[in-house]
Structure 1
Amino acid sequence: MSKIAKTAIISPKAEINKGVEIGEFCVIGDGVKLDEGVKLHNNVTLQGHTFVGKNTEIFPFAVLGTQPQDLKYKGEYSELIIGEDNLIREFCMINPGTEGGIKKTLIGDKNLLMAYVHVAHDCVIGSHCILANGVTLAGHIEIGDYVNIGGLTAIHQFVRIAKGCMIAGKSALGKDVPPYCTVEGNRAFIRGLNRHRMRQLLESKDIDFIYALYKRLFRPIPSLRESAKLELEEHANNPFVKEICSFILESSRGVAYKSSEYSSEEKQEE
């Protein structure tokens, strides 16, 4: 049975599943759908065509599904789809998609979005991610699974961050980040590999292979793209080579790599 505060304002067109809790002074618009076990604390606003998955908890003054902050948006149909078991903390803002993108913003499962996180239109966030306080995502950003982004970080539109990456706090990121990399700075560049996440997700032999692969990729000569092409030719059947090198070759913004920035930490390990 759902538990709904008397002061909540809920459209009769909204779909509220069983076991949902809606706190005082929440506002729920026409196209909103709340799956089982969703919990809204007080003063949450949900608008537009917004779906919230099972057992997701949203804290006070979060605003989800309102009109995208894009001057090209003219009221066309778009969606915000949020998966299961997410924690969305105070004052978060998440916008739906636009006609100029994929027409939806997607958030996976088991993510933590801390206070004051902003997720703009057409972003795609995987699962098991942590976005710390004040992280700002511009439009069309793609974030893979198991990514951590430190507080007060700003990320340029269309940037892609692959699986298992760590973005240090107060970074300004304008280029793509390949799998399992750590980046830091303004502008942010790759500083090394995310050992902590790799140890959680991978076997030791796979970690060793990925370290060796990145050492080959990040040699000054040939270029990063040429190195990625060579690796794909020589190791076409290796899943890690496919994942990492394909990501590099598909990058439209370029990779956040500068040899002088990457090498200092890694050389100390050798």
Structure 2
Amino acid sequence: MNIHPTALVDPQAELDSTVSVGPYTVVGPHVKVGSGTTIGPHCVIEGHTTIGRDNRIFQFNSLGAIPQDKKYAGEPCELVIGDRNTIREFCTFNIGSPGDSGVTRVGNDNWIMAYVHLAHDCTVGNNTIFANNSQLAGHVHVGDFVILGGFTVVHQFVRLGAHSMTAMCSLLFADLPPFVMSQGQPAGARSMNFEGLRRRGFSAERLAAVKAMHKALYRDDLTLENAKASIAGLTEKYPESAPDVQMMLSFLQQTPPQRGIVR
């Protein structure tokens, strides 16, 4: 292992032989790090934290600290980070809490910029981009391919559907459905993330179905129940979009009425 002489790595920590650790970094006894991961200088990685393969963790990060939850009483909760993530400077990822799953989880291939905060029990999918100063309160769930603009703030328990996107300085109090672009304080729906979907290889038929979903949710003055019924019928006209339609319907079905969706 390439561990700088000034780093403090607990003997009980489990680091693959290919891991590198920069100067003045502290690694606690319950930490596990997979092959090819690099950890920069002046980081603190503690708690029951598991980090996968080929991650790039830049300087001045705090990963695995106890949650900012007054109810936390020392339970062995976890932080689990997947593979090939880039975590830039001054990020804070907390472990989970006993009031939920007990795990804060980050998937694979995420690009996380400076000063991002992930509170306890957040779940982040794969291939996301979090711009600088994105802040997630506890229990937030973020789907695959989500993009958060800089200074986005997300209220606790809010969910963000796959392929959704926020503009800079957005404030989310409600669930953000898949594909939707939002902006504002509080955030409102502005359009669908068509350019992002094109870059990810969505066909013209799938894009047309996404446009129809946007129309049903935001343009046709329908109740949410009627919008869901309209969306369910799209598979007849756009058979190729069946997985996208099902994802949207599943997301809407799980949205609590007291929270609702971004409007």
Q: Same fold (TM over 0.5)?
A: yes
| Secondary structure at the counterpart of residue 65 of structure 1 | strand
The DSSP-based 3-state class of the residue aligned with 1:134 is: coil
Q: Deviations over 1:207-264 (max 9, x none)?
A: 012212321233454302332145437759832221112211210221001xxxxxxx
Task: Give the Cα separation in 2 of the matches to 1:219 and 1:79.
Answer: 43
Unaligned segments of structure 1, at least 5 residues? 258-270
Q: Secondary structure at the match of 1:254?
A: coil
Distance 2:208 2:147 in 1: 22
Displacement, 1:40? 0.7
Find the counterpart in structure 2 of residue 51 from structure 1. Answer: 50
Question: For 1:173 and 1:159, how far apart are their aligned partners in 2?
Answer: 8
How far the C-alpha of 1:12 sits from its partner, in A, is 1.0
Which residue identity lines up with residue 91 of structure 2 in the other structure?
Answer: C
2:120 matched residue in structure 1: 121
Letter in 2 for 1:159: V
Are the aligned partners of 1:97 and 1:103 in contact in 2 as well (CA < 8 Å)?
yes
Aligned mates of 2:192, 2:233 — CA distance in 1: 24
**Separation (CA, whole Å) in 2 of partners of 1:163 and 1:45:** 31
Question: Any idea what SS the aligned residue of 2:250 has?
Answer: helix
Partner of 2:261: 255
- Which of 207, 229, 243 is the matching residue for 1:239? 243
TM-score normalised by length of structure 1:
0.91
Give the corresponding residue for 2:180. 181
The 3-state SS of whatever aligns with 2:183 is strand
Moved more, 234-243 or 202-211: 234-243
**Distance in structure 1 (CA, Å) of the matches to 2:5 and 2:80:** 27
Q: Deviations over 1:96-151 (max 9, x none)?
A: 11111111011011111111110000000011111111111000000011111011
Q: How many residues align?
A: 256
Structure 2: runs of 5 or more not aligned: none
The reply to whether residue 10 of structure 1 matches residue 4 of structure 2 is: no
**Whole-Å separation in 2 of the counterparts to 1:21 and 1:234:** 51
Q: Helix, strand or coil for the counterpart of 2:246?
A: helix
CA distance in 1, matches of 2:233, 2:129: 35
Q: Secondary structure at the match of 2:80?
A: strand
Q: In 1, distance between residues paired with 2:217 and 2:169?
A: 27
Shift of 1:27: 0.3
Partner in structure 1 of residue 203 of structure 2: 203
The answer to whether the 8 A contact 2:189-2:262 is kept is yes
Root-mean-square deviation over aligned CA pairs: 1.5
Once residues 91 and 197 of structure 1 are traced to their aligned partners in structure 2, the CA distance between those partners, rounded to angstroms, is 28
Amino acid at match of 1:214: H
Q: Secondary structure at the match of 2:181?
A: strand
| 1:78 counterpart residue number | 77
For each residue in 1:171-206, what CA deviation from the matched residue of structure 2 results, as whole angstroms up to 9, or x when unmatched?
111111111110000000110001111112311111
Conserved 8 A contact 2:146-2:164: yes
CA contact (8 A) 1:225 1:249 kept: no
Aligned-residue sequence identity (percent) comes to 38
3-state SS in 1 of match to 2:226? helix
